[in-house]
Structure 1
Amino acid sequence: MNITITPKEITKENFSKFGDMITTDGINPIEINEGFAKRFDGIANLNTSKDNGETTICIFSALKRTFPMKIDMMEKHPLGSQAFIPMKPTTFLAFVAPAGDKPDLNKVESFIVPPGIGVNYNADVWHFPLISTEDMNFLVVDRKGSGDNLVIKNFDNEEIVLKY
């Protein structure tokens, strides 16, 4: 199977079947700290407690990818969601497929995530690891704990290319 995927602009609606677009758009903030700050609640549905998992915050130091890019595998985390928030304004890409026993290559999608936006993958959603367009750090909210929370599907007979 030969597939070429071109990413599209992300919106809350077109990404919702895979997780959350992390943004403050459309959320009414709560004023805090005597008006010197605003708090935006409910921007992502984190889910890390399955099988007594805990939430951890970490930093992924990502290297710039080059395009066109060969997609040779996908992974999923069946026990928890996983959020990626760039630590400075940047564009990055998400490459995803719906939850299931294996990635449905007929339903693969890719999204351009613009500066100021993050993503939160729902538990069990297939995705390619972080696709950064520059060398930089991402704040990651992830699950830690016992259980097998990483499933990898390698593509041995498929030719999948991400064109950006």
Structure 2
Amino acid sequence: MELNLKPKPLNTKEFEKFGKIISIENSKSKTINNGYAKKHYELTTIDSKEKNGQTALHIYLAKKREFPLKIDMLEKHPYFSQTFIPRGQNPFLLVVALGNEQPDLSTIKAFVTNGNEGVHYNRGVWHFPLISIEDNEQFIVIDRTDNNIKENSIEECIEFSIKNEKINLQKA
């Protein structure tokens, strides 16, 4: 099988089975700080409590990808969710799929953000690692930590090699 993925604009309906879009568009808000700020609250919750894990915030510095990008693997985090929020305003790309023990490639999809959106991957969603179209882009990433406590450690990431299919991601 050969598949050329062309990213579609990210939208709530198409992405909901994989996770949530992180954006202030259509979100609940309230005015705080004597009218000097608006709080857009509970945009998503982080699933990280497995074996006494805690939620952690990281910053990833991404390298620019070359296109077409060969999608030769997917990964998933079976025991926690992940959120990616760009610090800049450049779009980034996503490749996601559903599946349990291995990705169901009939569900594989590619999306492009509008530059002001982040994404939240549900626990166990198969995805290709971060796809930046610009060099040195920074992303705030929120996921799980075991606080370096052996009793809290879990299998953090499962990788699946895609060998018999040719899947290429086009630049948006």
TM (normalized to structure 1)? 0.96
CA-CA distance at 1:115 after TM superposition:
1.2
Q: Paired residue for 1:154?
A: 161
Following superposition of structure 1 onto structure 2, how do residues 13-92 of structure 1 map, counting pairs within 5 Å? 13-92=13-92
Q: Tell me, in whole angstroms, the C-alpha distance in 1 between the residues paired with 2:28 and 2:143.
A: 26
Amino acid aligned to 2:86: P
Using the alignment, how far apart are the partners of 1:66 and 1:53 within structure 2? 35
SS of structure 1 residue aligned to 2:89: coil
- Aligned equivalents of 2:98 and 2:91: distance in 1? 23
Equivalent position of 1:94 in the other structure: 94
8 Å CA contact 1:61, 1:138 repeated in 2: yes
Check whether the contact 1:7–1:93 (CA below 8 A) recurs between aligned residues.
Answer: yes
Q: CA deviation at 1:157?
A: 2.2
Q: Could you tell me which residue of structure 1 aligns to residue 112 of structure 2?
A: 112
Give, in whole Å, the separation in 1 of the partners of 2:28 and 2:82: 24
Residue number in structure 2 paired with 1:141: 142
> 1:28 Cα shift?
2.7
Runs of 4+ in 1 over 3 A off after TM superposition: none
* 2: CA distance, partners of 1:9 / 1:106: 19
In the other structure, the counterpart of 1:121 is 121
Question: What per-residue deviation string (whole Å, max 9, x for no partner) do you get for residues 60-96 of structure 1?
Answer: 0001111111011000001111111000101001100
How many angstroms does 1:50 deviate by? 1.7
Aligned partner letter, 1:150: C
Asked if the contact 1:4–1:162 (Cα under 8 Å) also holds between the matched residues in 2, the reply is yes
Q: 1:53–1:99: structure 2 CA closer, same or farther, 3 Å change rule?
A: farther
Aligned-residue offset at 1:12 = 1.3
Q: Does 1:3 align with 2:10?
A: no
The amino acid across from 1:75 in the alignment is E
Identity percentage of aligned residues: 40
Q: How far does residue 99 in structure 1 lie from its aligned partner after superposition?
A: 3.7
d(CA) in 2 for partners of 1:68, 1:151? 24
Q: Which amino acid aligns with 2:75?
A: E
- Aligned-partner SS, 2:106: helix
**Which runs of 5 or more residues in structure 2 are unaligned?**
147-152
Q: Return 5+ residue gaps in structure 1 as ranges.
A: none
1:150 to partner: Cα distance: 0.4
Q: Secondary structure at the match of 1:27?
A: coil
What's the offset of the Cα at 1:51? Answer: 2.0
RMSD between superposed Cα atoms in Å: 1.0
